[in-house]
Amino acid sequence: MVDVVRLVETRLRTALGEPDARASVTFLGTERIEVLRFLDEGVARYATLGMSAAPMTDPAAVLADPDRGPRAELLLSVRVVPGGAVDQVLRALAMLAASPQVEGVVVAPGASLDVGEPLWPSAPFTSVLVAAGGGLVADLELDEPLEPVRFLPLLPMTPNEAAWKRVHGAAALEERWLRHGTDLRSPQRGSVPLND
C-alpha cells in the first residue's frame, strides 16, 4: 500500500523547503492531521499533512471507496507580523483538513469553509475560500486507481466577503479582489469594496 502522506510531505519539502515548525491535532474519530509551517521571505506558508491519507467521498454515497475519490491538502499563506498570533491558525487549519472525515465534506475549488470563530486571535476572518491548486505546489500524481493529491490554497474571507460570495459566487469575489489589488496575504486586511 502506497504511503500517500509520506509522498505528500516529500512534495511539500521539494516545493517549499524545510518546515521550521510543525504541530499535530487529532479529533475524536479521525486520523491525525499535522500542520507544517514554511517561512519564505516574510511569508508564513502553512500546509496540512494527513488530509490526503484517504479520498474524500460524497456524503450521499452508500459505500465509501477506499481508493477512488479526490484527495487534497490545504495551503495558507500569510505575511508574518510581530506577535506571532497568526501561528494560532494551526488548530483552525487542522479542523478544516479534518472536515472530510468528520462531516463528509468534499473540499474543492470554489467552496467556502467556515470555522465559526476568528482563524487566529483578532483575525478579521472566520472563513476561507478554497482556490484552485497547481500554482505554489504542483499536484502529486499517484498510481491508478488513486486520484492525484491537489494542494488547494485557502484565501481568508471577512464575514462580508463570505456573504457576498454566497450571492455572487467565488469567481466574482476573486475578480473583485484582483480588480482592487487586495493583498490576500495580509493578516489584518479589511474587506474589499463590495458595492461599487
Write the CB contacts of 155 (distance below 8 Å, at least 6 apart in sequence): 128, 129, 130, 131, 174, 177, 184
Distance CA 95, CA 27 (A): 8
Distance CA 21, CA 75 (A): 15
Q: For 119-132, how does the pLDDT look when each residue is reduced to its tens digit (9 = 90+)?
A: 999 899 999 999 99
Could you tell me what percent of the chain has a pLDDT over 90? 66
Q: Which carries the bigger pLDDT value, residue 87 or residue 160?
A: 160
Cα dist from 29 to 99, 102, 114, whole Å: 12, 8, 21
pLDDT for the residue 64:
66
Whether 67 has a pLDDT exceeding 80, the answer reads no
Whether 134 has a pLDDT exceeding 90, the answer reads no
Q: Which carries the bigger pLDDT value, residue 19 or residue 29?
A: 19
pLDDT for the residue 85:
73
Q: For 145-193, how does the pLDDT look when each residue is reduced to its tens digit (9 = 90+)?
A: 899 999 999 999 999 999 999 999 999 999 999 999 999 999 989 999 9
Q: Which carries the bigger pLDDT value, residue 188 or residue 75?
A: 75
pLDDT for the residue 160:
95
Whether 29 has a pLDDT exceeding 80, the answer reads no
Query: pTM of this prediction?
Result: 0.92
Query: By C-alpha distance, which of 4, 109, 107, 113 is closest to 58?
Result: 107
Pairing verdict, β 33-40 and 71-79: unpaired
Confidence of residue 110 (pLDDT cuts 50, 70, 90): very high
Distance CA 26, CA 153 (A): 22
pLDDT for the residue 20:
92
Confidence of residue 102 (pLDDT cuts 50, 70, 90): confident
Confidence of residue 59 (pLDDT cuts 50, 70, 90): low
Distance CA 20, CA 152 (A): 21
Whether 1 has a pLDDT exceeding 80, the answer reads no
